[in-house]
Amino acid sequence: MEKGVLIILSGFSGAGKDTVIKKLMSKYDNYALSISATTRAPRVGETEGVSYFYKTVEEFEQMIKEDKLYEYAQFVGNYYGTPKDYVNEQLELGKDVILEIELQGARIVKEKNPEVVTIFVTPPDAKSLKERLIGRGTEDMATINARLRRATEEAQYMDEYDYLLINDDLDICVEELHTLIKSQHFSVNRNIKKINHIREGVKAFSEGE
């Protein structure tokens, strides 16, 4: 069983990451989505082990101490993090695992795991980004402006990612993401076992002559 690829997907708020991931996962069965751990209380309609792994502060800090998280952060008084166990289980099962995390987390994970593939999703231009932020119609102007300021900051660091994906047409974006992830399986670093096997085989034949 070939191990899966670990993928980080980041992007502007309003870039449509959630929709892209949902469609990708409904269309192909080789993906798993990382499930975060959090100390915040479950909300109505959320399910343990699906929405989040719910932890007490003590449990969460124990996970930190035991290095059981790929990354974690505090937000509005709660811990959020990416448990390693679930991700690694899925990778071992051959699933390509998607981590939907932002720049800070992406940096931490990439630094410790250089083989992780990082992808930044963006609308085609700033105009459509703003339209999408406003178009939701669910947020007030202060929230939208805060998001725009955050987008300005995120835009500064887009080039730290490995790949840039333009989400203009949803179906095209999903296909491009799928293609991009599939092609990661061909990287030489993921095929060292195969390479060594061929090396030994060729050498044995040469010596057998």
DSSP 40-101: SPPPTT--BTTTBEE--HHHHHHHHHTT-EEEEEEETTEEEEEEHHHHHHHHHTTPEEEEE-
Which positions from 61 to 100 touch its own copies by CB under 8 A, shown as an x/- string?
A: ----------------------------------------
Residue with Cβ nearer its own copies (139 or 162) = 162
Candidate segments 18-26, 47-55, 98-106, 179-187, binder of its own copies by CB under 8 A: 179-187
Candidate segments 38-46, 53-61, 73-81, 144-152, binder of its own copies by CB under 8 A: 144-152
Q: Which residue has the tokens 């949902």?
A: 22
Distances (CA, A) of 179 to 121, 173, 176, 185: 15, 10, 5, 10
Which positions from 153 to 172 touch its own copies by CB under 8 A, shown as an x/- string?
A: --xx-xxxxxxxxx------
Name the minimum Å distance from CB 1 to its own copies: 16
Report the run of H or E that residue 20 belongs to, with start and end.
helix 17-27
The yes or no reply on residue 209 touching its own copies (CB under 8 A) is yes
